[in-house]
Chains A and B, each alone.
Chain A
Amino acid sequence: GQNIDQPTEMTATEGAIVQINCTYQTSGFNGLFWYQQHAGEAPTFLSYNVLDGLEEKGRFSSFLSRSKGYSYLLLKELQMKDSASYLCAVKDSNYQLIWGAGTKLIIKP
Chain B
Amino acid sequence: GAVVSQHPSWVICKSGTSVKIECRSLDFQATTMFWYRQFPKQSLMLMATSNEGSKATYEQGVEKDKFLINHASLTLSTLTVTSAHPEDSSFYICSAWKGEGGELFFGEGSRLTVL
The smallest beta-carbon distance between A90 and chain B, in angstroms, is: 12
**B33-58 vs A, Cβ < 8 Å mask (1 yes, 0 no):** 01000000001101000000000000
Is B93 within 8 A of A42, CB to CB?
yes
On chain B, the residues within 8 Å of A33 by CB distance are: 103-104
Contacts of B75-115 to chain A: CB distance below 8 A: 91, 93, 101, 103-109, 111
Is B106 within 8 A of A43, CB to CB?
yes
Is B107 within 8 A of A48, CB to CB?
no
Q: Is A29 interfacial (CB 8 A cutoff)?
A: no
Is A100 within 8 A of B103, CB to CB?
no
Interface size class of B (residues with CB under 8 A): 10 to 19
Complexed CA–CA distance, A33 and B59 (Å) = 21
On chain B, the residues within 8 Å of A102 by CB distance are: 43-44
Complexed CA–CA distance, A21 and B93 (Å) = 25
On chain A, the residues within 8 Å of B91 by CB distance are: 40
Complexed CA–CA distance, A60 and B93 (Å) = 25
On chain A, the residues within 8 Å of B111 by CB distance are: 40
Q: Is A99 interfacial (CB 8 A cutoff)?
A: yes
Is B43 within 8 A of A42, CB to CB?
no
Q: Which listed residue (A50, A97, A100, A101) contacts B104, Cβ 8 A?
A: A97
Q: A31-B101, A40-B91 in contact; A101/B43 too (CB < 8 A)?
A: yes
The smallest beta-carbon distance between A67 and chain B, in angstroms, is: 21
Q: List 7 A-B contacts (CB under 8 A).
A: A35-B106, A43-B44, A50-B101, A87-B43, A89-B104, A97-B34, A97-B46
